[in-house]
Structure 1
Amino acid sequence: MTAATGIRIKWFSIFNYHSMAPSKEQLISKLRQDMLRWEGFRPPLPGAGHNLGLGPIAAAFPGSVFPTGAIHEFISSSPEDTAASGGFIVGLVQKLLNNGGACLWVSYTRRIYPPALKLFGVDPDRVIFVDVPLQKDLLWVTEEALKCEGVAALICETQSLNFTESQRLQLAVEKSQVTGFILRKDVKKANTTACMTRWQIRTVRSQLRTGMPGVGHPRWQVELLKVRNGKPGSWTVEWKKQSFQTVIIPQTIQPSRRYA
């Protein structure tokens, strides 16, 4: 082999190496995927059916997919907001139950009216209500229930949740892949938790059809306050035809005042 041939082979090897080396964007994308995996987020398997019908809200999550097998925290400061949060959660549970399994509803002061679940497409027979007499045992029962792989979703009504408690719940679902919803009531000040997301749901006046009496479809102001490796946002959402529908409310422009 001549010297010229050796030089050509060397330059070809260098060129081939640089052409096969991953780009900066590819390296960043892989690093983000690795970070999500290290933090417990698992991308859905092909055909797993994790589309919960959230529409534009789904774009706020990593990979535009609602994180199942994770803990989602909902905070409310009034009974009205608690009821709104419960309705929104049941709408999510309805989609999760399509893949089989049951839903557990854990609380120490149950105020849910089971037949009302049918409004959101959930048969009360698919929900197992667990009434815990002591609040101090509530999160222990929740943690043990989250370890059951046959459970599709779990809803826990509580008031307090510290970082260590939320971390234990998150570790439990990372193994069982159960989706947990923590509905915190009468929250005066939100503290740091290890939950995948934090939501705040408020009621919004429904829209009546012209000439029709009664009340309209349930409508909420949905605020995603925190989402791990995602994009928080705010949307107006309506529950209609057994699904979430994003509502675009036209902005009212106040006429400018003229002064003499």
Structure 2
Amino acid sequence: MSGETRGTSRSALMARLRRSIAEIEQSVPVLEEAPAALPREEGADPARLILRPGLHELTASYEDMSAARGFAFAVLAARQKHAGALRPARKALPPAFLWAMRLEERREFGAPYGPGLLDAGFSPERLLTLYARTSLDVLWALEEGLKAGALAGALGEVGDVGLTESRRLSLLAAEHRMPCWLIRPLERKEASAALTRLRIRPAPSGRHVHDPAAPGAARWQVELEKAKAGPMPFRVTMEWDHETHCFHMVAPLADRALPAAPKTQSPPAGEAAILPLARTG
């Protein structure tokens, strides 16, 4: 190949790279700095905790892993809405996200379902999915995604995560001011540099507005197990609002039936009821 041909190929490659970078920069959200600590009244809201830039863990038992994935779908939708609201003056595509998982997780629990993401309020065309063979490959993909600076968040499903790997992810997420979430099995209890760790369990859905017999809004029982510069551990029930694309904490008395009025026993047949008489004299 002549020097002129090599120069032309290199110029064409550089032109394509410039166009790709320009397209990415048009949709890069301007992200906010992570506060060192949230106000007391906001610190008890798991949604605000895990939407902060930094590394966060979502843990669940094997039987609850599908619920944890559903919660992660809602987290992505909430983050997409939040990141888009930070730059209303610029007309751009919705921010992009990375979801990396092992092939083992894909075989066991399936791949992200586009219509389901859309129903949760997330734009599925803005989700980049990656399937890897090992947890190390997933962690590498997350690191590269954070370094790219073109994402609004990165999510990974992994098994083993060492302290060194979690520290690298935590530092990169803080440096690039974006959240990174890890979905991990509950059985894994290795030390981690994550800002927060939430245990996710399924909860009975809310009441359907039009059909009491139909399932309503999705709910999860969320337990805060760890929080750096945050509140003490707590447990709440979270509900996803499909219309506003945000979480709500469910009140302890929500959807409970009113206590039944005490039943009065009728006197047996043939017997007169004894009524109290007021004294008049």
Runs of 4+ in 1 over 4 A off after TM superposition: 64-67
> Structure 1 length as normaliser, TM-score?
0.68
What corresponds to 1:158 in structure 2? Answer: 158
Deviation of residue 199 (structure 1)? Answer: 0.5
Q: State the match for 2:201 in structure 1.
A: 202
Contact 2:50 2:56 in 1 (8 A): no
Matches within 5 A, 1:1-260: 42-43=34-35, 58-60=42-44, 68-79=52-63, 81-98=64-81, 99=84, 100-109=94-103, 110=106, 111=110, 112-185=112-185, 187-209=186-208, 212-231=212-231, 232-240=233-241, 241=243, 242-250=245-253
Task: Give me the whole-angstrom Cα distance separating, in 2, the residues matched to 1:179 and 1:65.
Answer: 10
For 2:133, the aligned partner's letter is P
Q: Separation in 2 of the partners of 1:148 and 1:172?
A: 10
1:231-254 Cα offsets, whole Å, 9 max, x none, are 1321111112332121123399xx
Q: Distance in 2 between matches of 1:95 and 1:212?
A: 27
* Partner amino acid, structure 2, of 1:82: M
CA contact (8 A) 1:204 1:220 kept: yes
- In the alignment, the residues of structure 2 paired with residue 130 and residue 233 of structure 1 have an alpha-carbon distance, to the nearest angstrom, of 33
- 2:171 counterpart letter in structure 1: L
Cα distance change on mapping 1:193 and 1:65 into 2, 3 Å: closer
SS at match of 2:225: strand
Q: Which amino acid aligns with 1:58?
A: E
Which has more radius of gyration? Answer: 2
Q: Secondary structure at the match of 2:148?
A: coil
- Give me the whole-angstrom Cα distance separating, in 1, the residues matched to 2:178 and 2:126: 15
Deviation sequence 1:209-260 (CA, Å, 0-9, x none):
48533222111101111110111321111112332121123399xxxxxxxx
Cα deviation, 1:37-83, whole Å, max 9, x if unaligned, reads xxxx7439xxxxxxxxxxx983237xx7655220101111124x222
* 8 Å Cα contact 2:206/2:218 also seen in 1: no
Please report how far the alpha carbon of residue 105 of structure 1 lies from its aligned counterpart in structure 2 after TM superposition.
Answer: 0.5
- RMSD of Structure 2 on Structure 1 (CA): 2.8
Instruction: Using the aligned pairs only, state the percent identity.
Output: 28
SS at match of 2:43: helix
Query: Any stretches of 5+ residues in structure 1 without a counterpart?
Result: 1-40, 45-55, 253-260
**1:24 match:** none
Residue number in structure 1 paired with 2:266: none
Equivalents in 2 of 1:199, 1:67: separation in Å?
A: 12
1:195 to partner: Cα distance: 0.4
Question: Would you say how many aligned residue pairs link Structure 1 and Structure 2?
Answer: 199
Alpha-carbon separation, structure 2, partners of 1:132 and 1:66: 25
- Does the CA-based 8 Å contact 2:51-2:79 persist in structure 1? no
Confirm or deny: 8 A CA contact 1:149 1:177 kept in the other structure: no
